[in-house]
Structure 1
Amino acid sequence: MDSLNPDHPPLIETAATPRVWKFWGTALWGLFIFVAMFVGQIGAVIALAALRGLPIDLASLQLVGREPQTLALSVIMGLPATLLAVWLAIRIKKASFVDYLALHWPSWKQLLFGAVGLILIVLLWETMSRALGREATPGFMTDLLKSGRDKGAALLLLAAFAVAAPMSEEVLARGFLYRGWSASFLRSSGAILLSSLVWTVVHLQYDMYFLAEVFTIGLWFGYMRYRAGSLWLTIALHALNNLTAVVLTMWLGG
């Protein structure tokens, strides 16, 4: 028999290489994805400045970047850059893009449960803001959205903040980061905590009070990602949160 022949040793099956980036791989690829998102966003500003014949310098970019239309396009262009970077990271692992990111549809019960929890969290922070005499929405965001409405950029801003931003941020935080870190020594609880912290850092334009609110909402999104095993669920919840904030600020003065 070949198995007893030293010239023909038996085949030894080796364990398949895990198709998930673990802690450090996820962290480094996460940084790359974040940079790709930034490049996509700043690239839109540079392109608009160039189309206007402006010099490509800091002053010109700041001038163009303050306009509501430019900011909306910048956020929108961050989405394809993010998806491309995530696709590359997953492709190298030869894994399924859909399965890696848990792009599975949630049930209506899961969606309802997630929405109710989100509403309660937002209402709690709203109540605290009123008690402390604080605005429920950062002042600069209120000015941006109302300016965009007055300048005819309402739909563009709506697409940016209620569609593009939730997809980009969720694919990074509750998609790629959570997937890899939950398979590492962090497990699900640590992955929820750390991915929420990273998501909060992405919003450093806010003050500490609003960052605390963002972190709290991130924990809820992370929990729902764990509970339902669906990234579409957290994208939907994120979109619902942003859509409500944009509509209330633009048209109802909230």
Structure 2
Amino acid sequence: MDSLNPEHPPLTVMPAEHAPRVWMFWGTALWGVVIFAAMFVGQIGAIVYLVWSHGAPMSLASMQDVGREPAALALSVTMGLPSTLAAVWLAIRIKKASFVDYLALHWPSWKQLLFGAVGLILLVLAWETISRSLGREATPGFMTDLLKSGRDKGAALMLLFAFSVAAPMSEEVLARGFLFRGWSASFLRVPGAIILSSLVWTVVHLQYDAYFLAEVFTIGVWFGYMRHRANSLWLTIVLHALNNMTAVVLTMWLGS
């Protein structure tokens, strides 16, 4: 796939003296666990704070009750972003590497953005067609209920920001940013890194059933390919954000 990107060769092709600045397979895997844990702590921390601020007893039941509220869930998802960025920054800082270069935070060309968007649209439409042919819902029922409840309770903008900005940035920095960067420089190379990082990203969405997980995985593979082709994490962040924003808006205001 390197030949598909002649103008912007991927960072995985580097002089040998720069190799120590990248976490390889196991280092990337272990730091990936730490980063995911940091994301989880940030999200749970927001719920704990809300339980405390409401004066409720600090128990699992109280946290579950608060966490069911759309505004609380939106805050939880949002607070996962700074903790994720902090953990990734620490991992890269230890390697004394550039944060921007390590994560490929380079803005893509409009041609690359258009190509990525068209591919994503075709992929989503294919899954939409399959869903309709099988008589399945195109959006998981619990997400539909959550988003419509958030709209009715005045938390629409909070949920829109959480799912269209915070979640895409957190997940892309972890999957197509940190994990892809290290694994593509290891024995997995680019194809293996795309597959494995997509699997990890799919595992993050275990609240879905097997059908939707398959859709998530295929979208992850497309994002991984575009991350490699354009050498740009911003590209996958934007694509991820557009995909989520479209789903949120359609479900909240236009869905049946």
Q: TM-score, normalised by structure 1?
A: 0.94
In the other structure, the counterpart of 2:186 is 184
Query: How far 1:18 moved relative to its partner?
Result: 1.4
In the other structure, the counterpart of 1:52 is 54
Counterpart of 1:85 (choices 84, 87, 91) is 87
Q: Distance in 1 between matches of 2:198 and 2:41?
A: 22
Counterpart of 1:216 (choices 215, 218, 221) is 218
Query: How far 1:17 moved relative to its partner?
Result: 6.2
Counterpart of 1:41 (choices 40, 43, 51) is 43
Counterpart of 1:21 (choices 20, 23, 26) is 23
Counterpart of 2:114 (choices 112, 115, 131) is 112
Q: Distance in 1 between matches of 2:81 and 2:63?
A: 20
In the other structure, the counterpart of 1:234 is 236
Aligned CA RMSD, in angstroms, stands at 1.0
Q: Please say which structure displays the higher CA radius of gyration.
A: 1
Summarize deviations over 1:96-140 as a string: whole Å, max 9, x none: 000000000000000000000000000000000000000000000
Could you tell me which amino acid in structure 2 is paired with residue 71 of structure 1?
L
Q: Distance in 1 between matches of 2:143 and 2:68?
A: 12
Q: Distance in 1 between matches of 2:129 and 2:254?
A: 18
**Residues 226 and 16 of structure 1, relative CA distance in 2, 3 Å threshold:** closer
Kindly report structure 1 stretches of 4+ aligned residues shifted beyond 3 Å.
14-17
Could you tell me which amino acid in structure 2 is paired with residue 244 of structure 1?
T
Summarize deviations over 1:130-168 as a string: whole Å, max 9, x none: 000000000000000000000000000000000000000
In the other structure, the counterpart of 2:96 is 94
Q: Distance in 2 between matches of 1:201 and 1:17?
A: 29
Give ranges in structure 2 of 5+ residues lacking alignment. Answer: 1-15
Counterpart of 2:135 (choices 128, 133, 145) is 133
In the other structure, the counterpart of 2:146 is 144
Q: Please give the secondary structure, in 2, of the residue aligned with 1:206.
A: coil
Give ranges in structure 1 of 5+ residues lacking alignment. Answer: 1-13
In the other structure, the counterpart of 2:11 is none
In the other structure, the counterpart of 1:68 is 70
Summarize deviations over 1:186-226 as a string: whole Å, max 9, x none: 00000000000000000000000000000000000000000
Q: Percent identical across equivalent pairs?
A: 82
Q: TM-score, normalised by structure 2?
A: 0.93
